[in-house]
Chains A and B, each alone.
Chain A
Amino acid sequence: MSAHPLLAVSEVETFYGRIQALRGVSLDVHQGEIVTLIGANGAGKSTLMMTICGSPQARSGRVLYDGQDITTFPTHQIMHMGIAQSPEGRRIFGRMTVMENLMIGASVADQKFFDEDLERAFALFPRLKDRRDQRGGTLSGGEQQMLAIARALMARPRLLLLDEPSLGLAPLVVKQIFGAIGELNRADGLTVFLVEQNAYHALKLAHRGYVMVNGQITMSGTGTELLARDEIRAAYLEGGAH
């Protein structure tokens, strides 16, 4: 573990107009870790993901990336520093082909890696290879989710932010994606910060986890620790996959 965390969020407050969505959030993600954030609907998880990327910017508190204060950096500049996000709702460019979506994702990366990265993305999601010339908007929901993740990977990030990557995917595909995330983390040392509804899978996969309630972090610990806690089981694992 390096001296400072790769991502350090401290006392962040984010507002939408007068509505406060984050109420002093602090957390760390270290180089090489998989960290997950779980919480109920409306807790502020997606807001935190977007605040890290500067859209919206935190009204107070700080976001440090690799030791540098990026709180007020414009979004596109942050994305050039090695952060990539697969956002909530997938946000595929619907009138562009799968290939074009991937090219957009790769626009912050060194173009000499493009072919290699494309190969890797297609190996991860072979379905995308078959549909490379199809318009993103006509893909199925699951295929769009795969494309969103692949697009983020094309940026060759150091820190990958995933907002509910398992949403709308068949259990088998979820397993595959989580397997792939674990693999990227082990093999390439990719650091992952992951928001999940699927708390069981996420906590199993992650080294550490945080729980967010109403814009605040209420609990944190290793994945196994959190999985063992009764309040977590009751609130987030009820009826989930065991």
Chain B
Amino acid sequence: MEYFVQQLINGVTLGSIYGLIAIGYTMVYGIVGMINFAHGDIFMVGAFVSLIAITALGLTASTGLGLTIIALILVLIFAMLIASVYGWTVERIAYRPLRGSFRLAPLITAIGMSIVLQNYVQIAQGARVKPLQPIIQDGYTIMRRVDEQGEFVVQISNMQIFIILLTTALMVTFSMIIAKTPLGRAQRACEQDRKMAALSGINVDRTISLTFVMGAALAAVAGLMFLLYYGVIDFFIGFVAGVKAFTAAVLGGIGSLPGAMLGGLVIGLIETFWSAYFSIEYKDVAAFAMLALVLIFLPQGLLGKPEVEKV
């Protein structure tokens, strides 16, 4: 029981990170109908920018609580800004010129951009893994049991609390933006009928750019979380995390925002429980087997849009 609860906490934490990345895939797919394969690498860039900023600020575990919070907020904003610039640029140079071209064209440039970003970071930052000493430490013991087999404790670390709370806050904010603001309405309008959106005075190009920017900013948050949580990053983390977040987006129903969050959670939980109860080596296989199963039996995803409109 304790073991189960512990895995649940770990799984939700991991799922939060995947969910944040998945939003970028799902939103971009919704609005331009393409899979932005460079998105995972934007997440990786976000992690590296965070690392650089943390190092520059000299943030360590011994920094006081107040300063740590201020510094992390600065790091977060900085990483979101830089990643946004990357996301915006990728769209501007690699996708926009191909809008209206054949469907596979942006997919190919997306893969190209992914390779470019990976190689660029590999050259600029080196190919070896970069470690970061833990900054947010400690936690709470929420369950404890002692019996003849030994002691079992369930812990939630401050880091996990930070990740889960920040993710929840971002997702709520983000859903509100989509549901209630003019920008959110413009995004949904472009998603449904770009021509009519333009006829309503919406700047379609700008709206699409902003969608990439929002996705990239959330990916940067995920990048910072990943860095703080695992303490090591390299130029390749965007690939694996990206494919899993993509799986999450498909699982939840690509194009659906709540779907991306739910899909992220499910993938995080599957991966964690698989590692805990079966074999850690095959955790990625479990996640990708899930993708295959979903594509076969539930191509719409869990919360995919049923197409009921009249035309």
Measured CB to CB, the residues of A under 8 A from B are 53, 55, 74-76, 79-80, 85, 87, 91, 93-96, 100, 103-105, 107-108, 135-139, 141, 144, 151, 155
Q: Are B305 and A85 within 8 A (Cβ)?
A: no
Q: How many Å lie between the Cα of A139 and that of B193 in the bound state?
A: 17
Q: Are B195 and A91 within 8 A (Cβ)?
A: yes
Q: Are A75 and B199 within 8 A (Cβ)?
A: yes
Residues on B with C-beta less than 8 A from A107 are 182, 185-186, 200-202
User: How far does the Cβ of B258 sit from chain A's closest Cβ, in whole Å?
Assistant: 14
In the complex, B203 has a CB within 8 A of chain A: yes
Chain B interfacial residues counted at CB < 8 A:
21
Q: How many Å lie between the Cα of A53 and that of B197 in the bound state?
A: 12
Q: How many Å lie between the Cα of A126 and that of B186 in the bound state?
A: 26
Residues on A with C-beta less than 8 A from B198 are 55, 74-76, 79
Q: Are B195 and A155 within 8 A (Cβ)?
A: no
Q: Are A94 and B199 within 8 A (Cβ)?
A: no
In the complex, B281 has a CB within 8 A of chain A: no
Q: List residues of B (286-311) whose CB comes within 8 Å of A's CBs.
A: 305, 308-310
Q: Are A94 and B200 within 8 A (Cβ)?
A: no
Q: List residues of B (189-216) whose CB comes within 8 Å of A's CBs.
A: 189, 192-193, 195-204
User: How far does the Cβ of A208 sit from chain B's closest Cβ, in whole Å?
Assistant: 25
User: How far does the Cβ of B210 sit from chain A's closest Cβ, in whole Å?
Assistant: 14
Q: How many Å lie between the Cα of A123 and that of B202 in the bound state?
A: 26
Q: Are B199 and A95 within 8 A (Cβ)?
A: no
Residues on B with C-beta less than 8 A from A79 are 198-201
Q: Are B202 and A76 within 8 A (Cβ)?
A: yes
Residues on A with C-beta less than 8 A from B92 are none
In the complex, B188 has a CB within 8 A of chain A: yes
Which has the most chain B C-beta neighbours within 10 Å: A74, A75, A103? A75
Q: Are A95 and B305 within 8 A (Cβ)?
A: yes
Given A95-B309, A103-B185, A141-B310, also A87-B201 (CB < 8 A)? no
**Secondary structure call for the B interface:** helix
Measured CB to CB, the residues of B under 8 A from A are 182, 185-186, 188-189, 192-193, 195-204, 305, 308-310
Q: Are B185 and A155 within 8 A (Cβ)?
A: no
Residues on A with C-beta less than 8 A from B305 are 95
Which has the most chain A C-beta neighbours within 10 Å: B185, B200, B305, B308? B200
Point out the residue from B188, B201, B203 that lies within 8 Å of A95, measured CB to CB. B188
Point out the residue from A135, A144, A151 that lies within 8 Å of B200, measured CB to CB. A151
Q: Are A93 and B193 within 8 A (Cβ)?
A: yes
Given A137-B308, A137-B310, also A96-B185 (CB < 8 A)? yes
Q: Are B192 and A104 within 8 A (Cβ)?
A: no
Point out the residue from B201, B309, B310 that lies within 8 Å of A80, measured CB to CB. B201
Of all chain B residues, the one with the shortest Cβ separation from A94 is B309
User: How far does the Cβ of B196 sit from chain A's closest Cβ, in whole Å?
Assistant: 4
Q: How many Å lie between the Cα of A104 and that of B289 in the bound state?
A: 42
Q: Are B200 and A137 within 8 A (Cβ)?
A: no
Task: List 13 additional A-B contacts (Cβ < 8 Å) besides A93-B188, A96-B189, A137-B309.
Answer: A55-B195, A76-B202, A76-B204, A79-B198, A79-B200, A91-B195, A91-B196, A91-B199, A104-B202, A137-B310, A139-B310, A155-B200, A155-B201
Q: How many Å lie between the Cα of A79 and that of B198 in the bound state?
A: 8
Q: Are B192 and A95 within 8 A (Cβ)?
A: yes
Residues on B with C-beta less than 8 A from A136 are 309
Q: How many Å lie between the Cα of A85 and that of B197 in the bound state?
A: 11
Q: How many Å lie between the Cα of A232 and that of B234 in the bound state?
A: 75
Residues on A with C-beta less than 8 A from B195 are 55, 91
Residues on A with C-beta less than 8 A from B188 are 93, 95-96, 100
User: How far does the Cβ of B33 sit from chain A's closest Cβ, in whole Å?
Assistant: 15
Residues on B with C-beta less than 8 A from A144 are 310
Q: Are B192 and A93 within 8 A (Cβ)?
A: yes
